[in-house]
Amino acid sequence: MYAEQANKLVLDAKRIQNLPHLPPYAATTVRAVTKEVRDLDREVSNLLAPYSSGSSSTTQSSDGTQQIKSSFSPADDPATACALLVNHLSMRRNKRCLLAYHRMRTDKLEGMCWSGVDVAEIQDASASASGRQSGGGAATSSLSAEEEQYVHQYSDLLAAYKGQWTDIDLTGSLEPPRDIFIDVRVLRDAGEIQTEYGSITLTRNSQFYVRQADVERLIQQGYLQRLS
Amino acid sequence: MAYYNPEAILTDAQKAPCTFELAVPGLAPLNNGSAIEHGTKLDLPLWMAEMLAVSKPAGPSSTSLASLDMPPALGPRVLNALSADPKSVELRAQAQWFYGLGERMLDLFDEEKMVELLIDMFSRQTFKQRALEIADKSQNTRTTQQGGDSGDFMGGLDETERQLFRAAHDGSNAVKRWFESSSRS
């Protein structure tokens, strides 16, 4: 009660800040907090119910929400005013905590989009992590459905933005390359890629001496490992 | 940005003692189920305590809903200990965001003597001396990681000081790395 659950979310958000991966979405806590907000709202309505006079005072405003004109005056009944204030503050606090939590997660997801981490891969990783915890139980995604949608739409936007400059890779590495050709080892099958010097088939555990520019993307996505 | 900042939110979640100036029957859940009477003392988080302390529903001349006291973390005992030796006090045991708490309390209290004392405490004495110690220890993490008395040292830092420690430590490490990489090429 009174925004104690929401504190957990903020602690979680602070923890997420410094983590390399994204822990599972705290659906239960979020649901508990939203339920608390609804409870508080109901309580406020109950407190104010005696003061709203008749049906004539309930008007439908232009955006469709009901506005209740109330004859409540805080000066006459400071105790009720205090209860209302505390309820209202708690709702506002809950809102702030929820927003902070979700923003932290979306910031993190945006960062992942920019650094080229495959979101499906994050889900696999977290699924195996949670699978280990629950003894191979139902593997669930660490993203909520909304977050998944967010990531997809954000990466679409990012792709559209990058498409404007075909000769610059905006998400490319900022480190200037030292060598034109590098040794790479294939960590996962990536199929056949086309290069200037013909095509290479990247099968797992094989090694190649290739032009860095050709495989940079694949290294970032974790298909290849650079051997120094 | 501060609105979404988890640290700012957690700073606000720190508690301060409040005394209710009126009976509020509707807020029993706040007091573990027993009714709140006139003079009930409760530890409330700052975000709630602040508004209760400043709102005066019955006009500007009336008393506020609750009066706010200094949290024990900023009480005379701690302040005396700090003025005796800033480095010996475990700030984290007092409050996780000690400086944040002090900053918030300065906003709410306007007794000049205390405010002066606090500002003096924070800017001249405590923080300066503790920052020196933190910078010193951060360059020398081998002892910190191997426990000894330095394990306790990290445990005594408040969250702001921990960030300072980390920044000092990472900073010198980054410089070292840069020197190495630039001398190689």
Residues of A in contact with B13 (CB under 8 A): 7, 10
Q: How confident is the model at residue A32 (pLDDT cuts 50, 70, 90)?
A: very high
- B24 to A52, A83, A142, A196: CA distances (angstroms): 21, 7, 43, 79
Is B178 in the A-facing interface, judged by CB distances under 8 Å? no
Bigger pLDDT: B95 or A69?
B95
CB contact under 8 A, A79 and B24: yes
- Determine contact, residues B54/B107, Cβ cutoff 8 Å: no
CB contact under 8 A, A104 and B59: no
Is B60 in the A-facing interface, judged by CB distances under 8 Å? no
Q: How confident is the model at residue B133 (pLDDT cuts 50, 70, 90)?
A: confident
Tokens representing residue B166 in the block? 């980390």
CB contact under 8 A, A47 and B23: no
Whether residue A128 is predicted with pLDDT greater than 80 in this model: the reply is: no
Q: How confident is the model at residue A34 (pLDDT cuts 50, 70, 90)?
A: very high
Domain ranges of chain A: 4-53+66-150, 181-227
Report the Cα A196 to chain-centroid distance in Å: 39
Rounded Cα distance between A51 and A27, Å, is 37
- Determine contact, residues B79/B121, Cβ cutoff 8 Å: yes
Smallest CA-to-CA distance from B12 within B43, B56, B49 is with B49
The partner residue sitting opposite A10, judged by closest CB among B10, B57, B185, is B10
CATH architecture of B70-185: Up-down Bundle (1.20)
Residues of B in contact with A50 (CB under 8 A): none
Is B51 in the A-facing interface, judged by CB distances under 8 Å? yes
Residues facing B135 on adjacent strands: none
Residues of A in contact with B14 (CB under 8 A): none
The model's pLDDT over B161-183, given as tens digits with 9 standing for 90+, comes to 888 888 998 998 999 999 988 87
Whether residue A138 is predicted with pLDDT greater than 50 in this model: the reply is: no
The answer to which of A2-11, A125-134, A174-183 has the lowest mean pLDDT is A125-134
At A139 the pLDDT is 45
The partner residue sitting opposite B30, judged by closest CB among A2, A14, A93, is A2
CB contact under 8 A, A96 and B59: no
At A215 the pLDDT is 81
Task: Identify residue A136 by its one-letter amino acid code.
Answer: G
Whether residue B158 is predicted with pLDDT greater than 70 in this model: the reply is: yes
Q: What is the arithmetic mean of pLDDT over A136-144?
A: 59
Question: What secondary structure, in 3-state letters, does A73-128 show?
Answer: CCCCCHHHHHHHHHHHHHHHHHHHHHHHHHHHHHHHHHHHHHHCCCHHHHHHHHHH
A interface test, pick of B9, B20, B61, B170 with most A CB neighbours within 10 Å: B9
Instruction: Tell me the CATH number of domain A4-53+66-150, given options 1.25.40.10, 3.40.50.460, 1.10.10.10, 1.20.58.1030.
Output: 1.20.58.1030
The partner residue sitting opposite A83, judged by closest CB among B7, B26, B58, is B26
Mean pLDDT across chain A:
79
Whether residue A119 is predicted with pLDDT greater than 70 in this model: the reply is: no
Is A81 in the B-facing interface, judged by CB distances under 8 Å? yes
- B20 to A69, B41, B66, B109, B157: CA distances (angstroms): 29, 7, 4, 17, 33
Q: What percent of chain A has pLDDT over 90?
A: 18
Smallest CA-to-CA distance from A212 within A172, A184, A185, A182 is with A182
Q: How confident is the model at residue A137 (pLDDT cuts 50, 70, 90)?
A: very low
Mean pLDDT across chain B:
80
Whether residue A191 is predicted with pLDDT greater than 70 in this model: the reply is: yes
Is A103 in the B-facing interface, judged by CB distances under 8 Å? yes
End-to-end CA distance of chain B: 40
B1-69 topology per CATH? Methane Monooxygenase Hydroxylase; Chain G, domain 1 (1.20.58)
Rounded Cα distance between A86 and A67, Å, is 21
Residues of chain B with CATH 1.20.58.2050: 1-69, 70-185
Q: Of A63-77, A126-140, A187-201, B43-57, give the range with the top mean pLDDT.
A: B43-57
Whether residue A61 is predicted with pLDDT greater than 90 in this model: the reply is: no
